[in-house]
Structure 1
Amino acid sequence: MSETSPRAEAPETGQSKALLKAGALQNAILNSANFSIIATDDKGIIQLFNVGAEFMLGYRADEVINRVRPSDMHDPMEVRARAMALSLELDTPIAPGFEALAFKASRGIEDIYELTYICKDGSRFPAIVSITALRDDYGDLIGYLLIGTDNSVRKRVEQQLNEAVAAAEKANRAKTDFISSMSHELRTPLNAILGFAQLVESGTPEPTPTQKRSIDQILKAGWYLLELINEILDLALIESGMLSLSGEPVALTEVLAECRAMVEQQAQQRGIGMVFARLELPRYVRADRTRLKQVLINLLFNAIKYNQPGGHVTVACTLRPPGAVRISVRDTGPGLEPAQLAQLFQPFNRLGQESGGEEGTGIGLVVTQRLVHLMGGEIGVDSTPGVGSVFWVEMALTEAPQAVVLGDALPTDAPRPEAHPGTPRHTLLYVEDNPANLELVEQIVARRTDMRLLGAADASLGIEFARVYQPEVILMDINLPGISGIDAMKILRADPVTAHIPVIALSANAVPRDIQRGLDAGFFNYLTKPIKVNQLMDALDAALRVAETTSGPAAHQEPA
């Protein structure tokens, strides 16, 4: 009598269950409507077309098996473009069609494509298709497997995101253009206010003490308003991503010396002592030189402004491994509470100082923080109420530049020699449509015995005057009626009669990209309004030195 052993049946039963499970999984995959599975023979003719492929493409399996290739259901332009791209990539001639799509797969490289499927009814939808080569046990190619998924939802979300980004960029550009335009409009009247105030302040006879106090208030308010305009413009450019910064080796010793020279007078007026630590070795950081100075000057001005009478400001530099340096600005002011520290870098938040005696907008530190981050640095603050605050900036160290060229520029406050009697006077042509601006420059130039001014109210007249009178230097406004200042400058450059004359832009367009555009266009220099009298004089002297080395083709003619 034989007995059946349960131990003998167990492996067979377990194997059967595994086979049934594997078969169920294969069946579920082949019959899934969520993705298409298409298999071809080695010639690329469809041999398997699953339920998902039927659902997505609208064909029945018997309509395509042994009849068509997968590429017959793809956008032919995309297939052709893919073939050309592969041909260039691999430097191999590739025939268009399914051969192009299967080319990498046949070499054992799985490829994934974004393709457009064309359905039986002519409709289209984007798909992601993966192609894999199929081989037998001997390694011979027997076909290809294509697994595809509908990519419509992702494409739709991607399109919506792109549209949202484009709308945001358009809004940012509109905001920046608006602020740039407002900056120009505000600078134009400020030019007259600050320019004439500077003339009265330094005029003859000297103003009375009462007049001097009034003039000081006008200049103080005007320069503060200009600072506010600049800060708002900087913040708008940063937020819109349109602020361009250079990354170059900047010598810390030089930058700190320049910053000290710019703030020392204010510190002396307030009785604030200043200590700048000396660097034992030359150190260079990678930064935008102009913007790094802006950052440090802002921190120094704040340390002076919010200090206590008789206090002091200490600037120190310490190495921060690996490869960074920390520039610290320590003051002996009232310090900040933890709640104030948490709000420190919020726009227009003055931490309760609105009713205090110090002017401010709450923008400067925000701009400072964002400039530091754009230059790849870090900024922070440590503060103790009743003791003071330490604002610090960390920047990456870098190697010294290969060559340092020292300029031979004269100091800006160097006295200008009077012209000797009988010395011919230079002619300065100023092309400007604003009468107040023209009068201001006329009064500035009238203080120089070596120059005379010739005015033109538009670019066309200015070009004609330049050709006839051959001035040594031309001052050119940018926003002129009719022909713009940039176009007028290009006309002067293209004319052999006027090409040698240095042209200085004098404009209320003060956005960095406008300044760079002007310099790239060929202006000898680019000055922004409001006019700083000494800066204008320096620019004229530099242009006259250039004019002396060049000679025009025509003799000078006295203006009528």
Structure 2
Amino acid sequence: MTEVRSREALLMAGALQNAIFNSANFSSIATDANGVIQIFNVGAERMPGYTAAEVLNKITPADISDPQELVARAKALSTELATQIAPGFEALIFKASRGIEDIYELTYIRKDGSRFPAVVSVAALRDAHNAVIGYLLIGTDNTARNLIEVERTKLDQALRHANFELERAKVVAEKASLAKSEFLAAMSHEIRTPMNGVIGMIDVLQQSSLNAQQIEMTNIIHESAFALLAVINDILDFSKIEAGKLEIDSVPMCVADVVDGVCKVMDIMALKKKVELTLFTDPAIPTEVIGDPGRLRQILTNLVSNAVKFSSLQPRRGRVSVRAMLVESDAQRVMLEFQVADNGIGIDDDTLKRLFTAFIQADNSTTRKFGGTGLGLAISRQLANIMGGEITVHSKPGKGSRFKASIPFTLRGEHHDAGRFAASGSDLQMISGLPCLVVGGPDGTADDLAAYLAYDKAVVARATDLAAARQWIDNHPPGPGIIVVDTGIAPFPLTDLLATARAHPGNGIHLIVVGRGWRHGRRYVHDDLLRAEGNLLTHRVLLKAVAAAADRAMEPERESSPDDVNATSPTQSTVTAVERRRERILVAEDYEINQKVILRQLGLLGFSADVIVNGHDALKCWRRGDYAMLLTDLHMPEMDGFGLTAAIRREEGEGKRLPIVAVTANALKEVEAHCK
């Protein structure tokens, strides 16, 4: 029984060995001690293409190997092992014959003459006395692997080439960008210089004695010149953004001042187009943050001017609302949202998708009716993105539009006070705890007025109609109280309300009526009745109005409105005309038109000046004279403004330093930084 099992085990082992040996996946070639092939399995037949009958006892593996590789291998082994090795079968089995593991790559030659790479493993066959009686060469076809290596090599080469081309393209792009920046600087200077002459002379002309027709013509020229300058600025800004050269400032700024300033300028446009412009600035916004006031002003100006334009020429009265809101804050930064909403023509969905693309407007009729380059929104969105924010829009045709610019700002050290720019301490004390009723519907500014007063710690109530207002008056105890009535959206029976207030015991209730279009009207009507302009009614103005009413004082201090612009002549100053004539100003400017503009503008201000056309002569003139100030162009022949400034600073020593103001049409950041 045991013998039977042993035979079966041997048969099984033999069958297994035979199956492995005759696998078609690798070649098995066994030779005698001289290298003559004795066994040639199925895999060996498949790879080189010979049958076993064609090679057994006839050839050695060297006969189906690449002869040049045999020579190279023999030479390499001879050097490595310090033994002369023949370039034949010996080169294939020499290491194995010495008991050294040997695996190498070799090219086999098929029967049809074609070649294929193989990885060969060689082992020596030994008898019981450890004598070599033959060799076993196990090979696998390495074609696929070599193809992969070839492809990998090609890919590596392609990658290196692509990297080289990319690096070269980067160099070319950087050179092109530099050239573009230099071109922009030149264009900025060359375009702005004559524009300065145009606008400067118009400004001088407007200060002279003109009749009504001449005033109208100069106003048209003035508006057209600034419109052209706006287009030029848009194109230059867009080019700088495209070139990646636009930089953002990080300076202390008051957000409320920027928003108020933009709206005051836009209110002139709104007045002309009969559009109501309202403003609300969240009093919780910190007084001072770190950011770029110029770029914020640019974004808001674009959004508000668009809203005013597209709200005009509608059957209904145009309305534009500007809101600056604090939406997020922590110890280091705040996120502010600037909302500009209008009731204008609106925008359809297709146009919304491409609204922020450069040179895109709603349609050709928009360009014809309203003008513009189509760059404003594209620039505004990119500016917001560069500042770390974004601009979004929601709009429907005929329903108006709402733009939101969300922009982060850094807080400045410990200066995180919010809203206290608005008033003096006495005004705040007057309002704190003061009973106030704000009357008006939900569509007006009543809720905003109530928010301002509540922030200043007034005791605020809201009423939307006369009955609710009367009830508040009836319940009000003797003593001061303020009723703020918003009449901007719907008429309100003020006579009845005023009569009810005057009948209150103690006569301590005063009314502030907030209306629209009262810029030319009186602000102070009766001892107990003030009226205020609702367009751009800021926190500061409301606070002063309420404090004045509570104190039964005269009308509140009004902020300058568009009608106040010409109330004070631009030639007025704290410096007397006599003092001005004594102070001479040195002007270094080579452009003749600019010379005339500067001289005339200084003349309007009451100053006299000496004009020099280059830096060298200006330096000599400064050495001889006693000047109060130097106005210098930056680009002049022989010596530019930078060289002139450096020379003066070297010579004037540590004493009194001459004020030097750069006059340039080059508005690039690098130039500004160099000036500083």
Interval containing the TM-score (normalised by the shorter chain): 0.5 to 0.7
Any stretches of 5+ residues in structure 2 without a counterpart? 29-68, 83-151, 422-559
CA contact under 8 A between 1:285 and 1:395: conserved in structure 2? Answer: no
Q: Are 1:385 and 2:397 an aligned pair?
A: yes
Q: Which structure 2 residues correspond to residues 3-402 of structure 1 after superposition, within 5 A?
A: 3-4=7-8, 62=77, 152-203=157-208, 206-247=209-250, 251-283=254-286, 287-309=291-313, 310-316=317-323, 317=325, 319=327, 324-351=335-362, 352-353=364-365, 355-396=367-408, 398-402=410-414
- CA positional deviation for 1:63: 8.6
What letter corresponds to residue 312 of structure 1 in structure 2? R
Q: Which AA in structure 2 matches 1:195?
A: G
1:380 and 1:496 mapped to 2: Cα distance?
Answer: 54
Kindly indicate whether the alpha-carbon contact (under 8 Å) linking 1:172 and 1:240 is maintained by their aligned counterparts in 2: yes
The letter for the 2-side match of 1:162 is E
Cross-structure match for 2:464: none
Aligned-pair identity (%): 24
| DSSP-derived class of the 1:4 partner | helix
Aligned in 2, Cα 1:400/1:355: closer, same or farther, shift over 3 Å?
closer
Partner of 2:650: 494
Q: Deviations over 1:168-223 (max 9, x none)?
A: 122222223223212211222212211111111111xx211111111011111111
Which whole-Å CA distance do the structure 2 matches of 1:63 and 1:228 have between them?
82
Shift of 1:285: 7.0
2:106 is matched with none
* Aligned equivalent of 2:481: none
More deviation, 482-491/301-310: 301-310
Q: Is the 8 A contact 1:492 1:499 kept in 2?
A: no
Residues 354/383 of structure 1: CA separation in 2 closer, same or farther (3 Å cut): closer
Secondary structure of the 1:495 match is: helix
Conserved 8 A contact 1:245-1:288: yes
CA distance in 1, matches of 2:413, 2:382: 26
TM-score under structure 1 length normalisation: 0.63
Aligned length: 403
SS in 2 for 1:273: strand
Unmatched runs of 5 consecutive residues or more in structure 1: 24-53, 68-147, 520-560
Task: Find the structure with the greater CA-based Rg.
Answer: 2
Counterpart residue number, 2:614: 458
Aligned residues of 2:580 and 2:608 also touching (Cα < 8 A): no
Whole-angstrom CA distance in 1 between matches of 2:311 and 2:169: 46
**Aligned residue number for residue 623 of structure 2:** 467
Q: CA deviation at 1:276?
A: 2.2
Distance verdict in 2 for CA 1:8–1:348, change over 3 Å: same
- In 1, the alpha carbon distance for the partners of 2:257 and 2:413 equals 14
Residue aligning to 1:443: 600
Amino acid at match of 1:432: E
Identify if the C-alpha distance between structure 1 residues 446 and 152 changes in structure 2 by more than 3 Å, giving closer, same or farther.
same
Distance 1:372-1:15 versus aligned 2 partners, 3 A rule: farther
Q: Is the 8 A contact 1:249 1:401 kept in 2?
A: no
Letter in 2 for 1:170: K
Aligned-partner SS, 2:339:
strand
User: How far off is 1:280 after superposition?
Assistant: 4.7
The 5-angstrom pairing of residues 536-555 of structure 1 reads none
Partner of residue 483, structure 1: 639
Structure 1 residue aligned with 2:583:
426
The two structures have a TM-score, normalised by structure 2, of 0.53
- Is residue 505 of structure 1 aligned with residue 662 of structure 2? yes
Return the letter of the residue paired with 2:175.
K
Question: How many angstroms apart in 2 are the aligned matches of 1:313 and 1:277?
Answer: 12
**Contact 1:383-1:389 within 8 A present in 2 as well:** yes
1:298 match: secondary structure:
helix
State how far apart, in whole Å, the 2-side matches of 1:304 and 1:63 are.
93
Between the aligned partners of 1:491 and 1:292, the Cα distance in structure 2 is 37
Tell me the distance in 1 between the aligned counterparts of 2:260 and 2:180: 37
**Aligned counterparts of 2:22 and 2:358: Cα–Cα separation in 1:** 69
Tell me: CA distance 1:374–1:66, structure 2 relative to 1, closer, same or farther (3 Å): farther
Deviation digits for residues 528-553 of structure 1 (CA, Å, limit 9, x no counterpart) = xxxxxxxxxxxxxxxxxxxxxxxxxx
SS in 2 for 1:368: helix
Report the alpha carbon displacement of residue 461 of structure 1 after superposing the two structures with TM. 0.9
Distance, in Å, in 1 between the alignment partners of 2:635 and 2:212 is: 39
CA pair 463-64 structure 1, distance change in 2 beyond 3 A: farther
Q: Is the 8 A contact 2:282 2:326 kept in 1?
A: no
Q: In 2, Cα distance between the equivalents of 1:59 and 1:169?
A: 55
Asked whether the 8 Å contact 2:291–2:410 carries over to 1, the reply is: no
Root-mean-square deviation (CA), in Å? 4.0
> Aligned AA for 2:667?
A
